[in-house]
Structure 1
Amino acid sequence: MGTIAGVKSEKLHKEAITKLMLNMFSTTYEEGEVSWETTEKVGLGFVNDFIEYQDEKKAIRYNLNDWTLYICMDGKVDNKDELCKLLNVENSYDITDHLLICLLYYKFKNDFPGYLKGQFAISLYDEKNDQVCLVKDPIGLKQLFYYVSDTKVFWFTEIKQLKNSMPLEVNLSYIEKYLGSQPGAYADTAYNNLFRVEAGEIILIKNSKKITKNKYYSFPNNPLMYKDEVDYIERFRELFKIAVKRSIPSKPQQIGFSLSGGLDSSSIYSYANYHKFVSPSNAATFSYTFKNNADADETEYIKEVLRYYPSTKQHFFDCSDEWCFKGGLNTFGEQDEPYPLYGYSLSSIIPRAVRKSNIKVLVSGHCGDHVLMGNLNYLYNLLSTFQLNSYIKHLGIWREQYTLRSLLLKYSRRPKSINVKAPLWLKKNSSFNDVNQEEVCWDDQSRKKYFDGIVYQSGHEWVTQYISKQFGVETRYPFMDIDLMEFLLNIPVHLKQNPKYDKYILKEASKGILPDKIRNRRQKAGHSNLITKGIKKEWGGFQNHLNLEALESLNFVDSEQFQKTIKEFYMGKINNYSDIVPITRTLSAEVWLRERLG
């Protein structure tokens, strides 16, 4: 939840750098203690939110023999014990994450990020070598941007921090690509000369003309082959326990849990209670209900979890009167970058309530579906790698649910590419071509692509920035723990997708921990009706934007075709609910551009 900022300049004096630092911190929503240091060339600082024990002792400047290092970090380090052993220092209250990272840099120089685990965005200035390092964790759980001008380089957690210091120019090439495909957390942003530090990346800055980028992390393709199934289950149980523990602050405080009644959030809350990482008095639950919509309501499952693990602070929010786009389209224009958050109103209910309860940390089951996903394409991988005994065995496992013909002709062949059509209303050019997407077949290449898809396109970067952070809440995601993700993406697929039930390994590992009513359920509620409901409810407010005036002026779209498509949604003529995503991208880009281009 913290905020960091900094600037490096060869031509400004110290007072001017201090003024720029003041400007950058004046625009943040963050509450906490602001600290910064300035030299003749660099200023850097952070907002201390005091979530962890060590936060009370964090400093910015450290003198290590003949080296002076300055450091600011948003986030935390999870493998402190391991690093202290590596550095041969005693793990004590005085060894803060700031000091630990400086010690790592002192010993390993630019290779230091490779030793870190956790969720973090780091800025470090090496005064001796006049070098700034910007680093983001391997999953990209924290935000970090940088802006390059002729004589200065700025870095910051939120784009809005730069608005008082530099004029920003819209990157129309980014907007064009955004219309054609879901945005990913890659380097390019919606502004020229403003870049995102990517997950698992270190940026080295000497000056505005000498900036280098290096990837310090790549997904390890290391298929795991244990002797017995029980060994996988026991290893998962231990890693999941560690991931949940890492999400709990070390400092005693109230902790929020997003409890939907689904398997993922229920498992996190159950593990936290079962292992006594939390107690009924400090674990507050926050749940959506839909009393007037039985297909979406999960109340019975939420209450079953709370029957096993009571909380003295249970919060239920009846969302029967919620819908997508509620409140109109104005929120799209308020975001630093366009993003299709069509469920902003619903998604904001829990973070707003967490904030009102004076809770700083919310634990979420986000990404459980991604890391526990499997499909039968693994049969092709077994066959193509000549694991014939396993292939024959697994054909037999699935024979009760699938015909032998489908197992042989569909799942034992290399998956066909899926042709994804560009939205009809986009004018045809190089950015708006149809694309072929390959299904995951679980060989080394596709596992790596699948991991990258989670990191870059699961949306956590934008949800964190535009929802959680706006309410001063830090959201933590146990299923995105790096050790757990690497394990789950390298185990045999049948341990995730199994004839008995999906998310097999989680359900097996949770026997005796998770209530059986949750563990054995096969379906979960859906909310697709909120899309059509929202379009009908907000249709009047859409009218001022359906001509796509800003996008038409750039020759990006055919507004008549767009109006025809969205009217079909309004009339209930829906072939695929996923079409709402390109529709929302277009609306969000239109509203966002009108705010900036006038």
Structure 2
Amino acid sequence: MCGIAGASTQNIENVSDVLISISHRGPDGRNFFQDSGVTLCHTLLSTRGQASDITQPSHTACGRWVFVFNGQIYNTVSILKLLNMQHLREKSDTLILSHLIRKYGKEFVRFIDGMFAIVLFDKEERTLHLYRDQSGQKNLYYRFHRGDLFFASELEALLSLTRFAPNVANESSIRFGAHLGYWPGSETIIRDAYRLLPGQILDYRITDKSYDTRFIGTSDYSEKTSEDFNFQNSMASVFETNCKVSLNLSGGMDSSVILHELSKAHSDIRTYTTIYKDCSVEANSEAVLAKQLSKYYGTNHLEFEVSRESYIESLVESYGVLDEPNYNVSVPVYNLLAKFQGSKEPKEKVLFSGDGGDEIFWGYPHYERSYRIDRLSKIISSPFLTKLYKFKRGRQVKFDDPIERWLFFKFWRDSFLETRITEKEISDKLKQEFDFLKEKFSHNTHNCHSTMIADRFFWLAGENFTRVDKIYMNQSIEVRLPFALPSIVHSLDEKIREERNINGKLKKRELREVYSNVLPDFITKRMGKVGWRGPLEEWYNTEMKCMFLDILPNQNSELVKWKKIREKIECSNEWPGKQAHFYLSLAILGQKFKISI
């Protein structure tokens, strides 16, 4: 993992400041390139090989291409085979990418499987090419000023790079995000600052300051097919590192499977889970299971205690780290754990997590609800079902439309905005930005599968992966997510059938069957979903209530009815819900970026 930043101009006086702004993403080295009207900055977090062997910005041997790279490439074996370079001694991702780019130019991205954000400069054509991986694990933000292109791994770094441009709140992304709790599209909280969508490419021509966007097409990143695909072998490629490894462990199937597979590659594993102080047995049930499983595998298991007091203390800092408004109530819990992990000796560098597993193995309750709608649609036509639901509930939903179906489960009615947005407006906006999903949806015979695909591109890439990257890279820790590997997702989509995994009380049935004689019964036979959600209902008290009120503005703005939010909190001693956390994070970021919201 690394930090990258740069611009289509050399007229940058604060290169050292830019490098400092992304130094937490790469404490093992920093470097930059300025030539031919281009600036490329890079900070290195070395997790494979020696830092001295990995120099970026990197130049191809032919001299035509220069690139900076953030992420990991997992199919290096197949790439070396493609290049007929199996006997290459030094096999760092950077060197392999250099050879791949030299041969295939800007289309190299079709052959790689992993998580990445890459910027490629073509000296000959005078073009810059920005890439984000298909799963959306690595963000890449960009902005235009007087026609010049600026880019960075994080929004805060981008704003540092473009400090000469005024920062104004983006009312569009805030209004749309208020109905979901986050915004998965290309817009950010800052007007005219954007991020690449999952799998998106931006091609910028320096000569005339013009650009186009496109998406990574059908990938040739692996020789694996649905016939010879091996789930365990594919996961093993994610485990390669010369660093000590650790894992966020819950009592759920996903992290348990990763622990089992990880134990084949590494003998010394450190596992973590959180326990909540002064909370119910139910709130800490996953910690009990994680401890049992850690003993079963003999890991060095650490329990990190989070209290109401520490949650309150870290709330402002934690939401500020994200750079985007977010409704997730557990953000302070994640941030506290990451800081604890970042303080350990020896230093944590590589951490594994089960994020993305639910979106492959049908782990969420709304998938079963979507499946039931599909079954009902076989009896009642979708248009009639739409009319029937509108008659009974007053809500217009086209259940045969994948994005409208997804919004049916995710849309909030928000009464705190001065100008409301309809569900149709959000649907139209998502369809416009994620037009490339039409092809993915068209391959599905069931809309419930499309619901899961929408979760991957909206929820995972827009909230989950962004949150994980921001929080952990702030502590210089690389998080690897085996279940988000594109080749694994693609292959399992062809194998796993929803009927077997969501029809019944025991979810993820096929995954449980594969590991039924491997993992202990208290994992494989446990019903119910395990999560990392902070116990806000139990923690909420007068102190937390007062802090919420201290954070929120006293006066309404042209965008938000802040007084109405305050009134809701003031009039009750019960936790106001996750919607309040979206507005808390919004107020915190307004202060951080000095923008009026």
| Shared fold (TM-score, shorter chain, > 0.5) | yes
Q: Counterpart of 1:553 in structure 2: which amino acid?
A: S
Q: Does the Cα contact within 8 Å between 2:130 and 2:203 map onto a contact in 1?
A: yes
- The Cα of 1:347 is off from its aligned counterpart by 1.0
**Partner residue in 2 for 1:97:** 93
Q: Counterpart of 1:27 in structure 2: which amino acid?
A: S
**Partner residue in 2 for 1:401:** none
**Partner residue in 2 for 1:191:** 190
Identify which range, 33-42 or 369-378, moves more after superposition: 369-378
Tell me, in whole angstroms, the C-alpha distance in 2 between the residues paired with 1:269 and 1:545.
40
TM-aligned CA distance change 1:426 to 1:383, over 3 Å: closer
**Partner residue in 1 for 2:175:** 176
**Partner residue in 1 for 2:588:** 591
Are 2:491 and 1:455 aligned? no
- The Cα of 1:155 is off from its aligned counterpart by 1.6
Q: Does the Cα contact within 8 Å between 1:264 and 1:365 map onto a contact in 2?
A: yes
1:154 pairs with one of 150, 156, 161: 150
**Partner residue in 1 for 2:238:** 247
1:203-260 deviation digits (Å, cap 9, x = unpaired): 111127311111114799xxxx99xxxx9xx96xx31x23532332332x21111112
Q: Counterpart of 2:128 in structure 1: which amino acid?
A: V
**Partner residue in 2 for 1:24:** 18
- The Cα of 1:353 is off from its aligned counterpart by 2.4
**Partner residue in 2 for 1:540:** 546
**Partner residue in 1 for 2:434:** none
SS, match of residue 543 in structure 1 = helix
Q: Does the Cα contact within 8 Å between 1:295 and 1:525 map onto a contact in 2?
A: no
Q: Does the Cα contact within 8 Å between 1:149 and 1:193 map onto a contact in 2?
A: no
- The Cα of 1:90 is off from its aligned counterpart by 2.6
**Partner residue in 2 for 1:408:** none
**Partner residue in 1 for 2:511:** 506
TM-aligned CA distance change 1:421 to 1:186, over 3 Å: closer
Tell me, in whole angstroms, the C-alpha distance in 1 between the residues paired with 2:534 and 2:76.
46
Q: Counterpart of 1:597 in structure 2: which amino acid?
A: I
- The Cα of 1:350 is off from its aligned counterpart by 2.6
Identify which range, 373-382 or 52-61, moves more after superposition: 373-382
1:295 pairs with one of 278, 282, 307: 282
- The Cα of 1:345 is off from its aligned counterpart by 2.6
**Partner residue in 2 for 1:215:** 215
- Describe how 1:364-513 pairs up with structure 2 within 5 A: 364-373=353-362, 374-375=367-368, 377-378=370-371, 418=408, 420-430=411-421, 443=445, 447-448=449-450, 450-458=452-460, 459-490=463-494, 491-499=496-504, 501-513=506-518
TM-aligned CA distance change 1:24 to 1:444, over 3 Å: farther
Identify which range, 111-120 or 491-500, moves more after superposition: 491-500
Tell me, in whole angstroms, the C-alpha distance in 2 between the residues paired with 1:434 and 1:64.
50
**Partner residue in 1 for 2:3:** 3
Instruction: From the CA coordinates, give the structure whose radius of gyration is larger.
Output: 1
**Partner residue in 2 for 1:310:** 298
- The Cα of 1:473 is off from its aligned counterpart by 0.9
TM-aligned CA distance change 1:568 to 1:244, over 3 Å: farther
Q: Does the Cα contact within 8 Å between 1:201 and 1:217 map onto a contact in 2?
A: no
- Describe how 1:135-146 pairs up with structure 2 within 5 A: 135-146=131-142
Q: Give the aligned CA root-mean-square deviation in angstroms.
A: 3.5
**Partner residue in 2 for 1:125:** 121
- The Cα of 1:472 is off from its aligned counterpart by 1.1
TM-aligned CA distance change 1:73 to 1:55, over 3 Å: farther
| Unmatched segments (≥5 aa) in structure 2 | 380-398, 432-440
TM-aligned CA distance change 1:89 to 1:383, over 3 Å: farther
Q: Does the Cα contact within 8 Å between 1:324 and 1:533 map onto a contact in 2?
A: no
- The Cα of 1:493 is off from its aligned counterpart by 0.7
Are 2:564 and 1:561 aligned? yes
Q: Does the Cα contact within 8 Å between 1:120 and 1:136 map onto a contact in 2?
A: yes
**Partner residue in 2 for 1:257:** 247
Q: Counterpart of 1:425 in structure 2: which amino acid?
A: F
Percent identity reads 19
- The Cα of 1:496 is off from its aligned counterpart by 2.0
**Partner residue in 1 for 2:435:** none
SS, match of residue 505 in structure 1 = helix
TM-aligned CA distance change 1:453 to 1:378, over 3 Å: closer
Q: Counterpart of 2:476 in structure 1: which amino acid?
A: G
TM-aligned CA distance change 1:61 to 1:264, over 3 Å: closer
Tell me, in whole angstroms, the C-alpha distance in 2 between the residues paired with 1:483 and 1:359.
27
2:59 pairs with one of 59, 62, 69: 62
- The Cα of 1:538 is off from its aligned counterpart by 0.9
**Partner residue in 1 for 2:350:** 361
Are 2:266 and 1:278 aligned? yes
**Partner residue in 1 for 2:199:** 200
SS, match of residue 53 in structure 1 = coil
| Length-normalised TM-score, structure 1 | 0.80
**Partner residue in 2 for 1:269:** 259
Identify which range, 416-425 or 138-147, moves more after superposition: 416-425
- The Cα of 1:468 is off from its aligned counterpart by 0.8
Tell me, in whole angstroms, the C-alpha distance in 2 between the residues paired with 1:561 and 1:534.
23
Tell me, in whole angstroms, the C-alpha distance in 1 between the residues paired with 2:18 and 2:534.
41
Q: Counterpart of 1:530 in structure 2: which amino acid?
A: P
Q: Counterpart of 1:24 in structure 2: which amino acid?
A: V
Aligned positions, number: 536
TM-aligned CA distance change 1:528 to 1:315, over 3 Å: closer
| Unmatched segments (≥5 aa) in structure 1 | 387-412, 575-579
Q: Does the Cα contact within 8 Å between 1:328 and 1:538 map onto a contact in 2?
A: no
| Length-normalised TM-score, structure 2 | 0.80
TM-aligned CA distance change 1:423 to 1:219, over 3 Å: farther
Tell me, in whole angstroms, the C-alpha distance in 1 between the residues paired with 2:175 and 2:505.
45
Q: Does the Cα contact within 8 Å between 2:318 and 2:332 map onto a contact in 1?
A: no
TM-aligned CA distance change 1:329 to 1:210, over 3 Å: same
**Partner residue in 2 for 1:342:** 329
Tell me, in whole angstroms, the C-alpha distance in 1 between the residues paired with 2:583 and 2:566.
11
TM-aligned CA distance change 1:333 to 1:121, over 3 Å: closer
TM-aligned CA distance change 1:193 to 1:524, over 3 Å: closer
Q: Counterpart of 1:76 in structure 2: which amino acid?
A: Q
Identify which range, 93-102 or 25-34, moves more after superposition: 93-102
Tell me, in whole angstroms, the C-alpha distance in 1 between the residues paired with 2:456 and 2:72.
21
SS, match of residue 553 in structure 1 = coil
Q: Does the Cα contact within 8 Å between 1:325 and 1:535 map onto a contact in 2?
A: no
